[in-house]
Chain A
Amino acid sequence: MTTDNHSKEIAPLSDPGIPEHVHRRTDTDPKAAKKAERQVAILFSISAIGTILFVYSYTFMSEDLFVFLPVMGSTNAKQLFLGLGMAISLFFIGLGAVHWAKMLMPDNEVIAHRHEFRSEESDREDFVKTVKAGAEAAGLGRRSLIKRSLGAALGLVGLTPLLLLRDLGPLPKDDFSKTSWKAGTRLVTDPGNRPIKPSDLEVGAVAQVLPELQSGELRKLEDIGKDAVLLIRIRPEEFQLDAERLSWTHEGIIAFSKICSHMGCAVALYEQQTKHLLCPCHQSTFDVTRAAKVIFGPSARPLPQLALMVDADGYLVAKQPFTEPVGPSFWERDSA
């Protein structure tokens, strides 16, 4: 532990007290003080120049002027000088104020004493007495009927704001399981809305697709958020699928929901040589040849596959809706 009685007399490790104050040059030399005063004034003046620069850039500089600066490259002059003007006008006020405090204001250390926070015993006792008296006066302890009915009333009134929030949104019902894809819905390019024939896709090609809109229909982002599909063509012999999933493909063309089964980002990154899909958000990796099975990353489920076929006019259409909900999981999701 620290010191023992013996060493208190010698006390080489006791508090030596605040060190002696060392005077600054500006304290002793009036010329130095005057110089410091001038320096502070210069700093404040630079701030004024900054404001002038700001006003000039705002009022007179053209928006289309670009200047070339090292590191920054070609940059918009108005934006740059507005910002620099503002920065200088503020920064140098601060610099001047701090320099003034450091150089010219007294820098003798001052000692203040801390008082104990704990109140006097008499005050604490008085406080307890006051509270007890007040509680007695309220009579809650004796009048349990009041206590219980008050509790019930307050609890009930707390329900009103909760109930008012009910109309924040509709109930989901089975929305999560439904997309716009139905049997016979044509696949169209995104953007462009052109229907697609198998011959339009070469081996190694991808297409971003959406379901064809009926005439007069508008495409909403909510629909895109569930309907977006990725179309990929590989050589049919490269598939490693069971018979059912294979029947959902057409001549090497396979379709998956583009909405990541992890957290809903668009899984559009297709690596042609490895036949992997990569989601850039959390790096879930899906193997196209095995029905988008997850081979790396945090996603726990493969991407839902859309069954394809060709309609009478030769265009690619969905054979049926998705057989499972697309996108991230949720409590009511019942598929493996």
Chain B
Amino acid sequence: MNFISRYRRSKFFGPALLAAALFILGTTYSVASATTFKAVTPASDKTTLVAEGKELFARGCSSCHGLNAEGGSIAPSLLGVGAASVDFQVGTGRMPMADMSVQASRKTPVYDEAQTAALAAYVASLAPGPASIKSADLAWERSGDTAQGGELFRTNCAMCHNFAGQGGALSQGKYAPSVMGAEPGQIYEAMITGPQSMPVFSDKIITPAEKLSIIKWIKSAEAEPSLGGASLGRTGPVTEGLLSWTLGIGGLIGVAVWLASKAR
């Protein structure tokens, strides 16, 4: 009791109290709102991949996509989407969707690699579709052409994903996500399956070699440090203007106030 009374009038008491209250509020919310997905029991070795996938599908996907993946009012049919689609959607954590919003966002995957492969095998068994692509199988470093990849990216991808692959807005709250940090296999799968709003880039329109070049360019943009200083998001003039109005004139006005003030 004495401690509080003694420091009640301290000028730091208010801010400290505020900080403590925010901290308590924040951690309580995080703990309370943390959702844990039920631990998915790994399938036994005896069942085949497809059967395992069917079981996982029935438990985690059929409520929206239908018991036979035929689709419904809230989710499309998965017949013909192929293992590549499943590998992409489940592997990036987009599926299962967290909530019924306008777009499934990338998040921590619920299923591990083995389970993802099982789901992919099951969906692939229902109707033929593109096979999943593993990053290790893509020889983009050797066969890709960075400069050509950049040209292809700017013609086919930049209008949604922005010139540096940082992502961009679509209509009605949808968006093209940033491609920075995406795995090469997933980039390839996205191009051939056209997830959500993204169109399909058929192999005759962008050849497999060209797709490797695009991946190589993306990886080079990812690795490229910002050559002129802090990158300000690589989103163009909006952030540059913001900086000039905040740090820019703010800093100079600060100096001007000092300059015009009387010395003591």
Contacts and interface: CB of A to CB of B under 8 A. Distances in A.
Contacts of B262: 22, 24, 102, 107
B230 A73 contact: yes
B197 A273 contact: yes
Given A76-B225, A276-B171, A270 B199 contact: yes
A193 interface: no
B225 A74 contact: yes
Interface size, A (range):
35 or more
Contacts of B196: 272-273
Contacts of B228: 76, 79
Contacts of A269: 159-160, 170
A282 to B, nearest CB: 13
Contact of A190 (B155, B226, B230): B155
- Chief secondary structure at chain B's binding surface: loop
Interface residues of B, number: 38
Contact of A274 (B151, B197, B204, B226): B197
A201 B225 contact: no
A75 B202 contact: no
Contact of A25 (B206, B207, B259, B264): B264
A205 B225 contact: no
Contact of B229 (A22, A79, A202, A204): A79
B204 A66 contact: no
Contact of A72 (B160, B199, B226): B226
Contact of B202 (A71, A72, A205): A205
B210 interface: yes
B199 A204 contact: yes
A19 B13 CA distance: 39
Q: Which of B259, B261, B263, B264 has the most CB of A within 10 A?
A: B263
A192 B213 CA distance: 13
A85 B135 CA distance: 44
B200 interface: yes
B196 to A, nearest CB: 6
B160 A191 contact: no
A189 interface: yes
Nearest to A72: B230
Given A268-B159, A271-B171, A189 B205 contact: yes
B155 A79 contact: no
B202 to A, nearest CB: 5
Contact of A205 (B201, B207, B258): B201
A71 B230 contact: yes
Interface string A190-208: 1110101101111111111
Given A205-B194, A268-B155, A270-B199, 18 more contacts: A24-B262, A24-B264, A73-B225, A80-B229, A98-B259, A191-B155, A197-B204, A202-B200, A204-B194, A204-B199, A208-B156, A271-B171, A272-B194, A272-B196, A272-B199, A273-B197, A283-B171, A296-B171
Interface of B: 148, 151-152, 155-156, 159-160, 168, 170-172, 174, 194, 196-202, 204-207, 210, 225-231, 258-259, 261-264
Nearest 5 pairs between A and B by C-beta? A200-B204, A74-B225, A205-B200, A268-B159, A206-B199
17 contacts: A24-B262, A24-B264, A66-B225, A73-B231, A75-B226, A196-B204, A200-B204, A201-B202, A205-B199, A205-B200, A208-B156, A232-B199, A270-B199, A271-B171, A271-B174, A272-B197, A273-B197
